[in-house]
């Protein structure tokens, strides 16, 4: 329901029932309620259910019911709600209530993804990890703009003594461009030059300097220093800050402008090889090569060595979605990241009529603070041979200098052709629009709002429109959503492992940019405005979020392997969005699946303390390669070993997710054998909890496992039987058939170790 319509109804309701109901409405306030989780009655399956039941038990006053806003699982135990005073009095007397705080307001102080991920300056992962201090993140990308404020080294301690890298000189770049934040910068272009690229003729820099802005953006996302009052033309205004703001950065440039921004495999391997030698702790690669057998994939080969050295390699899943089998970087020793939205959007406020008869809001990312006040608006209703805003439906004599309302979707070509001053589009597709779509002053409204505008314009002839641009909206719902372009699994070359591993913010992310590179298109001729910060989207943006979070986890758990850190991220991820439904797929508008979002959306606060991990060593991956029927030669290329054994060949890798490939028979059965490792100091007991849909039978043995203390291990087996004729069956070659979850729940403890169990049709590749 449109907010203005709701409040209009509320206004007339208050007039009809008198002042007593008005006083009830005036008495309603938003509160944050802290609860004692240990007081939750055992009949509730989870704390959210308990909170909702508590709210529903409160009496209404003149028909006014409590309104639930959010359930908090991380930064505090409790929830927020809108309550009347009498309802609050009832709540405060209930068992389990700890404290209540009224809503407060302050100035926006962040560009929001840290807040969306639960990162707080005074509690949790940030202070415990000392904001990533002493961690070194190597970014393999398009270079870096060292003068950006995101790379200031204010109050940074000296460069770690273990650092072995350097800051090389080149075109428009020298060693003085590095500091205690940007501690290394190198450029790798020999392969591209051999392929015929003349870097100087492309206007790119034959040096680590960033010509495109992409590498600057990803670097600052991972570990940028805080920058106050950052924005994209006043959108998303706040303090821009990286995931690990005290971590060090090293740039390895391998991408140069050649109209497609391709990287040579030779350059990429050289860059990763150098990063290993320099001493990075994390590698972030927002690029990928076409999926080939692993020994032919430069990132997969180099990442294996990095893994053996204890380096965490995080890669973008690719932007080939929404179709299946589009995953890039699917090697199991790589953490593969898909992209989702956050609960922030950008808007304009539209007022119709000279005295503000109707005010609505819609999506807009038009970069100029344009004064639109009482400009004539055109809507050609009545008898028409074609929809308004269809190609060549507008007469320039009717619309020149006016705003146009289009009730049949987005057609910027037609409004531009006809010389309109701007346009308001009624569309279901506003969620897909990006900053570059707003080269002129457009506003996109959802059809429900569009119908209100249409009704008004039919009745009010010769009316005007006023528009206020550059608005940022927080708390949008639902969020996160799997964005349409994010590549989906299964991986064509390694379908026995569920990919992507995890979802992270990757839509309209604000971060540093090359200030001499045009970012905001303006006008019909697409001139470009410049900015120090940009809103960019892609799995490229999701990848450095996970790289930065991995740096924080590594700072806290120095002895954890890359597999342990990936496991912590995966088994603590969430699949429920901020409207308490399964994370949806932007393309279909319905619940997604683990082939879309992997184990779920990253949750840094929980990942710091996962309880148990599925750990892996190099030999485990070798056993997997053997199980894939890789030849000795192929394995030698990947592992750099000649004295390995395939006696333990197995496709059942000790991974934090479970994948069953269905065959053409009606029933498929598979037995998984896994090992869990405790990462807490005390002894513990866990019980298996299976959430399996119809058509999937899951049996876990033993159903309970015990651990003596930190680094003690326990084995279990899980038998999964899938009936392809029952349940969520879609017999397309690229469709998931069924999925459920296995959780290990700590007895008398807080830890829940959750893994998706997925059954899908997939090709059976051979190396």
What H or E segment, with its residue span, contains residue 316? strand 312-316
Q: pLDDT tens digits, residue range 105-145?
A: 322 224 578 888 888 888 889 999 999 999 999 999 999 99
Instruction: Name the band, by pLDDT with cuts 50, 70 and 90, for residue 74.
Output: very low
The CATH classification number of 344-472 equals 3.50.30.30
Question: Would residue 540 show up in a list of annotated catalytic residues for this protein?
Answer: yes
Q: pLDDT tens digits, residue range 255-304?
A: 998 777 788 888 898 899 899 999 999 999 999 988 889 988 889 989 99
Residue-level pLDDT at 31: 77
Model confidence at 345: pLDDT above 90: yes
Which among 723, 716, 725, 724 is positioned nearest to 755, based on CA atoms?
Answer: 716
Q: How far is CA 504 from CA 67, 75, 271, 480, 488, in A?
A: 29, 19, 25, 9, 14
Mean of the pLDDT values across residues 192-221? 92
Fold: same for 113-343+482-595 and 653-767:
no
Residue-level pLDDT at 296: 84
CATH 3.40.50.280 fits 653-767, yes or no: no
Is the distance from CB of 514 to CB of 440 less than 8 angstroms? no
Instruction: Name the band, by pLDDT with cuts 50, 70 and 90, for residue 765.
Output: low
What H or E segment, with its residue span, contains residue 115? helix 113-116
Residue-level pLDDT at 110: 41
- Choice among 47, 77, 141, 219 that is catalytic: 141
Instruction: Name the band, by pLDDT with cuts 50, 70 and 90, for residue 215.
Output: very high
Using a 10 angstrom Cβ sphere, with 0-12 exposed, 13-18 middle and 19 or more buried, the burial of residue 559 is exposed
User: Rounded mean pLDDT of the chain?
Assistant: 88
DSSP per residue over 531-554, as a string?
Answer: -SEEEE-SHHHHHHHHHHHHHHHH
- Choice among 214, 217, 545, 751 that is catalytic: 214
Model confidence at 758: pLDDT above 60: yes
CATH for 113-343+482-595 (3.40.190.10, 3.40.50.200, 3.90.1150.10, 3.30.540.10): 3.40.50.200
Class of domain 3-102: alpha beta
Mean of the pLDDT values across residues 571-600? 96
Question: Distance between CA 398 and CA 418 in Å, rounded?
Answer: 9
Model confidence at 104: pLDDT above 70: no
Model confidence at 667: pLDDT above 80: no
The maximal CA–CA distance of the chain, rounded, in angstroms, is 87
- Choice among 219, 452, 494, 540 that is catalytic: 540
Mean of the pLDDT values across residues 736-757? 94
Lowest mean pLDDT among 60-74, 272-286, 594-608: 60-74
Question: Distance between CA 464 and CA 373 in Å, rounded?
Answer: 8
- The domain limits of the chain are 3-102, 113-343+482-595, 344-472, 653-767
Highest-pLDDT range among 6-15, 373-382, 543-552, 665-674 = 543-552
């Amino acid at each position: 329901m449109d907010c203005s319509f709701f409040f209009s109804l509320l206004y007339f309701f208050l007039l009809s029932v008198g002042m007593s109901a008005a006083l009830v409405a005036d008495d309603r306030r938003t509160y944050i309620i802290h609860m004692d989780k240990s007081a939750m009655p055992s009949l509730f399956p989870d704390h959210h259910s308990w909170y909702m039941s508590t709210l529903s038990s409160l009496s209404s006053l003149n028909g006014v019911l409590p309104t639930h806003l959010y359930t908090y699982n991380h930064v505090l135990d409790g929830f927020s709600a809108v309550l009347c005073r009498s309802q609050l009095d009832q709540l405060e007397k209930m068992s389990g209530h700890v404290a209540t705080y009224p809503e407060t307001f302050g100035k926006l102080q962040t560009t929001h993804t840290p807040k969306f991920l639960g990162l707080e300056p005074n509690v949790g992962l940030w202070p415990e990890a000392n904001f990533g201090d002493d961690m070194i993140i190597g970014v393999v990308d398009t270079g870096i703009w060292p003068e950006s404020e995101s790379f200031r080294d204010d109050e940074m301690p000296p460069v770690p003594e273990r650092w072995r890298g350097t800051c090389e000189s080149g075109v428009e770049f020298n060693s003085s461009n590095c500091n205690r934040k940007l501690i290394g910068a190198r450029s790798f272009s020999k392969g591209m030059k051999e392929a015929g690229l003349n870097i100087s003729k492309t206007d790119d820099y034959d040096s680590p300097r960033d010509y495109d802005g992409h590498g600057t953006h990803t670097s600052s996302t991972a570990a940028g220093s805080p920058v106050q009052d950052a924005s994209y033309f006043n959108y998303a205004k706040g303090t821009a800050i990286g995931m690990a703001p005290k971590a060090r950065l090293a740039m390895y440039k391998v991408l140069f402008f050649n109209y497609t921004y391709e990287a040579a495999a030779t350059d990429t391997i050289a860059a990763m090889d150098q990063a290993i030698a320099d001493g990075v702790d994390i590698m972030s690669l927002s690029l990928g090569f076409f999926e080939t057998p692993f020994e032919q994939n430069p990132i997969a080969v180099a990442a294996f060595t990095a893994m053996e050295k204890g380096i965490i390699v995080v890669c973008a899943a690719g932007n080939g979605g929404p179709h299946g089998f589009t995953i890039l970087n699917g090697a199991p020793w790589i953490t593969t990241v898909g992209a989702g939205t956050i609960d922030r959007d950008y808007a304009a406020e539209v007022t119709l009529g000279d005295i503000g008869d109707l005010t609505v809001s819609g999506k807009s990312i038009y970069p100029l603070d344009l004064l639109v006040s009482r400009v004539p608006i055109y809507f050609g209703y009545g008898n028409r041979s074609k929809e308004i805003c269809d190609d060549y439906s507008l007469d320039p004599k009717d619309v020149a200098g006016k705003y146009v309302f289009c009730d049949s979707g987005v057609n910027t070509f037609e409004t531009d052709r006809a010389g309109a001053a701007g346009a308001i589009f009624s569309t279901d597709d506003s969620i897909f629009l990006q900053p570059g779509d707003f080269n002129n002053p457009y506003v996109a409204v959802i059809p429900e709002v569009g119908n209100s505008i249409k009704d008004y314009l039919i009745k009010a002839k010769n009316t005007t429109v006023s528009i206020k641009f550059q608005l940022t909206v927080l708390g949008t719902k639902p969020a996160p959503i799997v964005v349409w372009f994010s590549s989906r699994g299964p991986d064509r070359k390694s379908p026995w492992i569920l990919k992507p591993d995890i979802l992270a913010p990757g839509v309209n992310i604000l971060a540093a940019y090359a200030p001499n590179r045009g970012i905001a298109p303006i006008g019909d001729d697409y001139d470009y405005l410049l900015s120090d910060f940009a809103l960019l989207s892609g799995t490229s943006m999701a990848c450095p979020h996970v790289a930065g979070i991995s740096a924080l986890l590594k700072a806290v758990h120095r002895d954890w392997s890359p597999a342990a850190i990936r496991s912590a991220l995966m088994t603590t991820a969430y699949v429920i969005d901020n409207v308490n439904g399964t994370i949806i797929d932007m393309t279909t508008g319905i619940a997604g699946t683990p082939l879309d979002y992997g184990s779920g959306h990253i949750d840094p606060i929980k990942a710091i303390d996962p309880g148990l991990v599925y750990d892996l060593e190099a030999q485990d991956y070798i056993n997997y390669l053997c199980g894939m029927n890789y030849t000795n030669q192929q394995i030698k290329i990947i592992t750099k070993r000649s004295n390995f054994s395939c006696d333990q060949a197995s496709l059942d890798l000790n991974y934090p997710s479970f994948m069953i490939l269905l065959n053409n028979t009606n029933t498929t059965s598979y037995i998984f054998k896994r090992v869990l490792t405790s990462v807490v100091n005390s002894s513990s007991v866990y019980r298996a909890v299976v959430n399996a849909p119809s058509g999937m039978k899951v049996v876990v043995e033993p159903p309970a496992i015990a651990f003596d203390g930190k680094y003690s291990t326990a084995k279990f087996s899980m038998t999964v039987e899938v009936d392809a004729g029952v349940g969520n069956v879609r017999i397309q070659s690229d469709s998931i058939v069924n999925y459920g979850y296995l959780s290990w729940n700590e007895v008398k403890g807080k830890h829940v170790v959750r893994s998706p169990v997925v059954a899908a049709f997939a090709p059976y590749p051979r190396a």
